[in-house]
């Protein structure tokens, strides 16, 4: 059974940093691309970043230069390093697994990030 478990969320001041983790199990982690998707309170889903099996990375313009996605295949873990956080980054952050080609087939339960002074 595929399981994705996010952690690392919390309250951080504007301008601060946070690192999210997503522990994966139930599939061969290294063989699949992964993404982070967020949802601000009362809003829709927003794709944040993706990482391919070869380590290639892609990010939305809204986080480019501030957020970095990475993976450790030896630990079956996906990361999102978030720097220079802003109030508008407040959201639930979900990790999502991609199928062999295309968009997301499995989701984690999410971790809440709140950026506030």
Residues near other proteins, by CB under 8 A = 35, 37, 44-47, 50, 52, 56-58, 60, 94, 99, 101-110
Q: Which is nearer to other proteins, 57 or 74 (CB)?
A: 57
> Residue 16 CB, nearest distance to other proteins (Å)?
25
Dihedral sign, Cα of residue 29, residue 55, residue 69, residue 95: negative
Q: Which is nearer to other proteins, 14 or 55 (CB)?
A: 55
Per-position b or e across 93-116, b if 16+ CB within 10 A of its CB: bbbbbbeeeeebebebebbebebe
Q: Which is nearer to other proteins, 14 or 52 (CB)?
A: 52
């Amino acid at each position: 059974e595929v399981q994705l478990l996010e952690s690392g969320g919390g309250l951080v001041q504007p301008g601060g940093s946070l690192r999210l983790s997503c522990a994966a199990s139930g599939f061969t982690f290294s063989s699949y691309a992964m993404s982070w998707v967020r949802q601000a309170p009362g809003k829709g889903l927003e794709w944040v970043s993706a990482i391919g099996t070869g380590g290639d990375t892609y990010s939305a313009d809204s986080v480019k230069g501030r957020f970095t996605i990475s993976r450790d295949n030896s630990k079956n873990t996906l990361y999102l390093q978030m720097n220079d956080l802003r109030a508008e980054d407040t959201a639930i952050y979900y990790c999502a697994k991609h199928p062999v080609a295309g968009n997301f087939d499995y989701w984690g339960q999410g971790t809440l990030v709140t950026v506030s002074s």
